[in-house]
Structure 1
């Protein structure tokens, strides 16, 4: 029976980049008042030589009141200390009081032009305020981390690699640095011919370093389905990276950046870049808690500046691309998309009534994923390792015969991982300790494990047990086995080293959890970065693992002009594309996270630039009450001098502060 009904939709929030944020909210996102938090109290200033608005040194106000960066007069704007407090975040009701009398876009261009001339920051009243619930929402607008991360990475890598027309380190920037900062090493200098030259900045790579970084990126290999081939984005002639899409920037920013720059940049610059990378990675994780968000909000003030809340645009971008592919008639674009979308919806609805064995679009599990198959064996006594999904292989494989050492090790590995022989292991320890009392109970299985299989076989025969499982376990396996060069398990695609060493992907990195760290592995104390010495080998003979207990890793060397770290590889642990590490228990999100997070380096590890004592004649006090002491805080952008508050007691009242993976 057909019935008509009223379909109602609600707008929960908007997701956009920063320019579109201004269109949706009605607040101008350009000029000195572009910050939607500071609004009219913005401390942004106009760069005389750069001819643009700058928010340099506007982030110290978000630091804790006792942070040493607040009193530093050399690391930021010269002779300026920060005493201001973070801005008040206005509620929806407070914002409504600000915009309720503003003209709307439907009121005509004349009213909007008058509002723009008043320079209040608002240029219209958004149509979203007509929604009765809009002013009661906790979050109305979200910034898209996809665009922000790409823009941030592009500016960062182009500046580090000193790419012409893309770097932020220009002659205009150096002239502005000379005016606003105490960094004489970065000032423009004259050569013998009287021509101004730019001394190389400590954060910029020279030509040899840029070349070796490009060669490193060109030789990178990732897992199957993890990332595209980055070698296509390398220009060896110009020694630069180009044409990097959002996902390329995402992978490079959150995974590769610390490894790529660790041996090329000074340690204090590498620390700052690594902390920014860690912030983006923590922000983009699948699961988070209230404590994690509070930690990120505190850290980002020290790393860079206060950022707003984010949400992903990746699903929407991919869905729009999916709709574009449905265009069959370019003369009727909208109708073509609608017809194709309705047909797809009908097909997906009907596919739900097919048999479970029928492969449909809605049941497509994705790359490297195995379908769940119910076990035909229903016996609670059978160990888990025989009932778990062991993966699927690509072909029939080859026959292989195990030698005595491999056969003994395989049998012992199965016995130790069944999980049902706890009673027999205790009896075996008592048996060994009765004849060797000098051993400790904890050392029995480690030093006498080679005797366990034979003892277990004799014990089962003596007891004459009725358990078919125990009788089967005490017998050794056949020497004849079958081997494969490729297997799909747990959402991963594994290759043997011989099979995958010449491929463009790296699928032979296997990770198994263990309590033994070993001397061939290092974990960075602050940032928890893992590296292994690939020349070291595991001393014990233990070649077998359970397929459903392994995860995948990939390795990358360090690009460096030196040869002292050739033996060390950075290790990157990955997660299967089909797996979302989301907790089922909702209380988990409110509980303290047991994970050990990366921490920030101490503020004193960031050195200040060397300055002349003669220039230190006073300092500026910046606060919410005294905004006139901020740089170029007046409406005029033509002032040539910086306002300096002289105080003879400044030297006494202020101080100069320098700026698990288990393999």
Structure 2
């Protein structure tokens, strides 16, 4: 079954692309993908879309209780890359597989595959890397490809003829020299009168592109079978291209071949250490289910985009790929790696990728497949939820009884510290704090800050009670309640959801596989505003008279006031988590903190941790991204070979078999240009 889902965009961000607001318009019953024949199934939907655009439909507005004529337009399609070819008509195979580059694709023939190593095409014409010989021993003079308009695409489509849909006798392979490039059909979407005017018609799926790049990168670094791009054929490509002689396969006296370790090769111990590091990382809830979701372009996936930042990101991606081309083999750069260049341009045209990628679509399809299973276990879930609810009530009662005893004994000092924090951080009390400070100065008191912390709560309480007794309007209920202090009973929690972000105490995190206790807050230290890093100890809920309550986070802060406990460079912030400070100021308001998580610092080791920020799903903030500049200076010489790792020995029969199979399976641009149904 092959579904076609229509997603309305006239919704708030937190509702857009969610399952209740997505419409299943088509369900194509076929054992295999419909391929280019999908236009036959799409015809009824396109007919309705044309009617909705031209005539509209009479619609009732429940908010105004009026009717209006609603018109509908298709903005773009969301699809994976094979479906991109089916919907657009541009084959996603062969030497011209990139639909954005069109006829100017930077592809080259390799042993058994097609490589895309022309990232230098996208550099400025006067960029020094264009003249560098460290890539393919040649200078690059090809200019950046220009995008085509809808009219130019229609001119290409109208210049050719296409085979009929379905199993027709005339459906044969296209002959060499076909004048329509990689076009296999004229898409049915061009029947929509506005389709040719759209600047973005089909989206490149960020989800699959970043997943495939991550698989290739990790597979090559860790030498994973089936994912490793550093194969025997890849080394033979170097010999064919007459570049990087130090990485060529070398024949030994016994007839076998020696595969020199490349610069990016890891030893067995290094691979083990890398996996142990990944195993040690504890991510916040909902941040990462596997490593492939953690390797992404943060700027591109931001919920707040700026055109200037996206243009800078496009240049950065080109520079990064150019740097990688000097290190990795040409076989590493397949079509998925190349498509990353075009993602910022699509973000400029289409906006945030959260509304243009496949994540919500796949969640929707997964939910549709699990409906029957959910219905079968619904009764068991109901019984379980009732048991959990009863268990939670028992824990709640036990907690309150335990807290009464602790408040009367060991928590008195902490409660006073928490109450002073509330008073000192309430904007409504700034006038009274200044008035009390003037009184202390008139008395000639020393260390006014300490005296005010000790005496202000009592003075403020007496002052408010006097105003209340006189019936003055200044003593409003909120100030009077605050002045009389909190109840001796304080509710403590190990978890809290603040502004949509889930926080856990450090003790709670120690029993789980996720990390939700790390936080950062801005504060003043010696007259300067700095970031305070730490973790959550407990969540306090203090009750005041007249039903008012205040929630605070009790934290422990890592000492970041010295270069001996804090290291900051262009990429990372590392903290010595063994050192503490500000033990007498542990409280913060939940609305003031941001969540972070800590990972082991493999360079400094020991009790050093690297701070990692995160962007939570479903939270829309104005984000600022610190971009590290990329150096464009070329070293005079670059060593691509590691001498501290033993080379891999390959039997001669394996290499000879690879050469023979490679000659038989050479890439045929005619066969791979057609978008067949058996992909």
Q: TM-score range by the shorter chain?
A: 0.5 to 0.7
Tell me which residue corresponds to 1:307.
Answer: 342
1:82 counterpart (132, 140, 159)? 140
Deviation at 1:165, TM superposition (A): 3.3
Match of 1:581 in 2: 620
Q: Can you list the C-alpha shifts for 1:281-329, whole angstroms capped at 9, x where unaligned?
A: 211122212222222222222122522426211111111122223469x
1:190-229, CA deviations, whole angstroms, 9 ceiling, x for partnerless residues?
A: 556453211222212211111122223333333334444x
How far off its partner does 1:568 sit? Answer: 1.7
Equivalents in 2 of 1:140, 1:506: separation in Å? Answer: 40
Is the contact made by 2:79 and 2:357 (CA closer than 8 Å) also made in structure 1? no
Structure 2 CA distance for partners of 1:607 and 1:461, relative to 1, 3 Å: farther
Query: Which TM-score applies when normalising by structure 2?
Result: 0.63
Kindly indicate whether the alpha-carbon contact (under 8 Å) linking 1:14 and 1:140 is maintained by their aligned counterparts in 2.
Answer: yes
Q: In structure 2, what is the equivalent of residue 597 of structure 1?
A: 626
2:367 counterpart residue number: 322
Question: Which residue in 1 is equivalent to 2:659?
Answer: none
Partners of 1:490 and 1:393 lie apart in 2 by 28
- 1:423 offset after TM fit, Å? 1.2
Residues 173 and 223 from structure 1, CA distance in 2 versus in 1: closer, same or farther, beyond 3 angstroms?
Answer: same
Partner of 1:395: 396
Instruction: Using structure 1 for the length normalisation, give the TM-score.
Output: 0.65
Residue 420 to residue 203, structure 1, CA distance change in 2 (3 Å): same
Partners of 2:162 and 2:358 in 1: how far apart?
28
- Residue aligning to 2:236: 175
Report the CA distance between 1:95 and its aligned residue.
0.7
In structure 1, what is the Cα distance between the partners aligned to 2:427 and 2:636?
A: 55
Question: Are 2:492 and 1:453 aligned?
Answer: no
State the shift of 1:180 in Å.
Answer: 2.9
- For 1:99, the equivalent position in structure 2 comes to 157
Q: 1:136 to 1:480 in 2, by over 3 A?
A: closer
Larger proportion of strand: 2
How is 1:49-68 mapped onto 2 (pairs within 5 angstroms)? 50-56=111-117, 58-68=118-128
Q: Are residue 416 (structure 1) and residue 424 (structure 2) matched?
A: yes
Preserved CA contact (<8 Å) 1:526 1:600? no
Instruction: Please list, as runs of the form range in 1=range in 2, the aligned pairs for 1:296-445 lying within 5 A after superposition.
Output: 296-304=313-321, 306-308=341-343, 309=346, 311-326=356-371, 395-396=396-397, 397=399, 398-399=402-403, 400-401=406-407, 402-434=410-442, 445=449
Equivalent pair of 2:464/2:479 in contact (CA under 8 Å): yes
Instruction: Count how many residue pairs are aligned between Structure 1 and Structure 2.
Output: 482
Once the two structures are superposed, residues 408-447 of structure 1 have per-residue CA deviations (whole angstroms, 9 ceiling, x without a partner) of 31221010122101212222343344455999xxxx6589
Match of 2:97 in 1: 34
Q: Distance in 2 between matches of 1:459 and 1:546?
A: 26
Alpha-carbon separation, structure 1, partners of 2:484 and 2:105: 78
> Secondary structure at 1:494's aligned position in 2?
strand
Distance 1:222 1:471, change over 3 A: same
| Counterpart residue number, 1:630 | none
* Alpha-carbon distance in 1 for matches of 2:279, 2:599: 12
Q: Return closer, same or farther for 1:403/1:315 CA change in 2, 3 Å cut-off.
A: closer
Matched, 1:187 2:248: yes
Report the equivalent of 2:278.
Answer: 217
State the partner residue of 1:532: 575
Gaps of 5+ in 2: 1-46, 53-71, 322-337, 347-352, 376-392, 524-528, 532-559, 641-665, 669-679
| Alpha-carbon distance, 1:603 to partner | 1.9
Distance 1:14 1:313 in 2: 11
Separation of aligned partners in 2, 1:60 and 1:23 = 30
Structure 1 pair 172–479 and aligned structure 2 pair: CA distance change class (3 A): same
Residue 115 of structure 1, CA deviation: 4.5
- 2:102 counterpart of 1:16: no
Structure 1: 5+ residue runs without aligned partners? 231-247, 255-279, 329-339, 341-391, 584-592, 612-635, 639-663
CA distance in 2, matches of 1:212, 1:127: 53
Q: 1:568 aligns with which of 608, 627, 630?
A: 608
Displacement of 1:540 in angstroms is 4.2
What displacement does 1:161 show? 0.6
Higher RCO (C-alpha under 8 Å, 6+ residues apart): 1
Q: CA deviation at 1:526?
A: 3.6
Pair 1:608–1:430, CA change in 2 (3 A):
farther
Q: Is the 8 A contact 1:393 1:488 kept in 2?
A: no
Between the aligned partners of 1:197 and 1:216, the Cα distance in structure 2 is: 31
1:182–1:609: 8 Å Cα contact kept in structure 2?
Answer: no
- CA displacement at 1:581 relative to structure 2: 0.5
Distance of 1:179 and 1:295 partners within structure 2: 36
Distance in 2 between residues matched to 1:114 and 1:53, nearest whole Å:
20
1:251-270 alignment, distance < 5 Å: 252-254=294-296
**Is contact 2:316–2:630 with CA below 8 Å preserved after alignment?**
no
How is 1:161-172 mapped onto 2 (pairs within 5 angstroms)?
Answer: 161-172=222-233
Q: Does the C-alpha gap of structure 1 residues 106 and 117 become closer, same or farther in structure 2, counting only changes over 3 Å?
A: same
Partners of 2:273 and 2:487 in 1: CA distance: 51
Give the root-mean-square deviation of aligned CA atoms: 3.7
Question: Cα 1:215–1:291, aligned 2, differ >3 Å: closer, same or farther?
Answer: same
- Give the Å deviation of 1:25: 2.0
Q: CA deviation at 1:72?
A: 1.0
Matches for 1:450-489 after TM superposition, within 5 Å: 450-457=454-461, 459-460=463-464, 466=472, 467=475, 468-489=477-498
Distance 2:84 2:130 in 1: 31
Distance 1:576 1:61 in 2: 36
Task: Name the CA distance, whole Å, in 2 between partners of 1:173 and 1:530.
Answer: 38
3-state SS of paired residue (2:155): helix
Matches within 5 A, 1:596-635: 596-604=625-633, 608-610=637-639
